[in-house]
Amino acid sequence: MAFMLSPGVLFPAGYLFLYLSTNIYLNAGFKTNLSKSIEKATGNTWKTRITSIKSGWGFDSMTLNHVELTKAANRGMRADDENRTITINTIEIPYPDLQKLLFSSTERLASTNALCEIILAEKGFDQ
């Protein structure tokens, strides 16, 4: 029992819990909010799909894997524009104090908007 309550066990267990919680949140709620933010920023003309988001071990960055922007079909589009897809395989974004996303709604909103701008600027995206 003393071993389980020692700082050598409690600190790594707490850190691992925070790391896993952050990654679960990033792949559940944050990924959805980021996709909606990108779609809103493009005037709902592009659909977004993000495969996964992973935080860095030091909570100082996040890695987005396979970000796919697909032109939404609408009337009056040419056939070559309908299948236009922009793919970013991996993008690592420095983000100090990433763990704050779990605890602050204002931090979540600000980071969603900032990441949206970074993703749209990554490939010289034209809105």
pLDDT tens figures, 13-72:
999 998 998 899 889 888 998 889 888 888 888 888 999 999 988 889 999 999 898 887
pLDDT above 80: residue 121 = yes
Express as a percent the part of the chain with pLDDT over 70: 88
Q: Which amino acid is at 79?
A: A
> Bridge-partner residues for 65, per DSSP?
52, 90
CB neighbour list of residue 110: distance below 8 Å, 6 or more residues apart: none
Average pLDDT over residues 87-100: 85
What is residue 73's predicted lDDT score, i.e. its pLDDT? 72
Q: 81 and 45 in contact (C-beta within 8 Å)?
A: no
Nearest to 56 by CA among 106, 89, 101, 107: 101
Which has the minimum average pLDDT: 30-34, 74-78, 102-106? 74-78
**Under DSSP, is residue 66 helix (H, G, I), strand (E, B) or coil?**
strand
